[in-house]
Structure 1
């Protein structure tokens, strides 16, 4: 099946980002990211795609930024929210830097990870074909920190399905816009490991079409109802 046909919407949206994504593809295809350093970025593929070199198991280091902003509420003086998730060159462990601007405090976490799995292909496809592809961040407040409690990214994913499962489990999950380089790289990965099911055309029954089945317009009644027994009682 033609890949560009299956992912026509994704391909058209990310064709420009594909060239940017190649700068990341070889670097983030490695699973053992602890051995990587900013000076060890391999040369990108010349064809502008991952191609056959995409492994099934992929781990991307990412940076996640939270914003602490004041709010006018009787219940709280401020609120936290994730505002950015981008590809990174920094491996775990988690560590952060802070910045204050425009009356807001920003916490940038380095060393977070995004795992890609072929089993989540449908979730990636739903995300990429949406109007606004995003990154889902499941996060928690470190209550042990007392007055200095801060948000910590627990799971970062690009899968709609995985995010839905976390929400169903009662976790706190927010979305942030997915950067273009990440969209392009994710599209390449998804096109290799996921094939969307073809939409089946359902022919609607037209009561005015000659030869249309009368049963399609028949009233469905329970078998033990008076109507099913010919209107007889008892």
Structure 2
């Protein structure tokens, strides 16, 4: 995660997702500050597990079909005790599922994305090829076979006879 200084009267900084990288043992298991200077700061949050689930296969497929397949990262700001302190932005979850990211966004969470590297996408493609089965398309009934309803949803009918005008007879 990267904290950048910005020129804004109400907020002098903002957090952004910098990148998602494969875990290496040298990273350890605890978050650590990589940089802190006048321009901002960077933090490394190691040891996130990304598991693939069969019931998310459609979400992975949608990610792969997008113009730029990516990692989705849900992150939250820590509570701060000091008035001028910058809260730390902590990743909470990482996913490759378009559906999972959508659920996070529906829950009003902060979700950012960064491009996924080709080796990760190759693994994801193999998983999708094995587990994603598109739902068969159901034939849509033509509108002429649908029951007629008025604008309020009540049953309606159509008459094909000529309307009767006047009192009925010529006299």
1:96 has 2:32 as partner? yes
Match of 1:133 in 2: 69
Alignment of 1:54-133 (within 5 A): 66-90=1-25, 93-99=29-35, 103-133=39-69
Q: Distance in 1 between matches of 2:20 and 2:60?
A: 16
Match of 1:32 in 2: none
1:171 has 2:106 as partner? no
Match of 1:158 in 2: 96
Secondary structure of residue in 1 paired with 2:94: strand
Structure 1 residues 101 and 199, CA, compared in 2 at 3 Å: closer, same or farther? farther
Match of 1:180 in 2: 118
Give the TM-score taking structure 1 as reference length.
0.56
Contact (CA 8 Å) 1:137, 1:174: kept in 2 or not? Answer: yes
Per-residue deviation, residues 41-77 of structure 1 (Å, max 9, x unmatched): xxxxxxxxxxxxxxxxxxxxxxxxx111111211100
Structure 1 residues 169 and 229, CA, compared in 2 at 3 Å: closer, same or farther? farther
* Structure number having the greater helix percentage: 1
Structure 1 residues 136 and 121, CA, compared in 2 at 3 Å: closer, same or farther? same
Query: CA RMSD of the aligned region, Å?
Result: 3.4
Greater C-alpha radius of gyration: 2
Contact (CA 8 Å) 1:137, 1:154: kept in 2 or not? Answer: yes
Contact (CA 8 Å) 1:221, 1:227: kept in 2 or not? Answer: no
Q: How many residues align?
A: 157
Q: Distance in 2 between matches of 1:92 and 1:112?
A: 11
Match of 1:194 in 2: 132
Structure 1 residue 216: deviation in Å?
3.7
Q: Distance in 1 between matches of 2:9 and 2:41?
A: 21
Match of 1:30 in 2: none
Gaps of 5+ in 1: 1-65, 206-214
Gaps of 5+ in 2: 165-171
Structure 1 residue 133: deviation in Å?
0.4
Alignment of 1:195-214 (within 5 A): 195-198=133-136
Q: Distance in 1 between matches of 2:9 and 2:57?
A: 43
Q: Distance in 2 between matches of 1:158 and 1:199?
A: 25
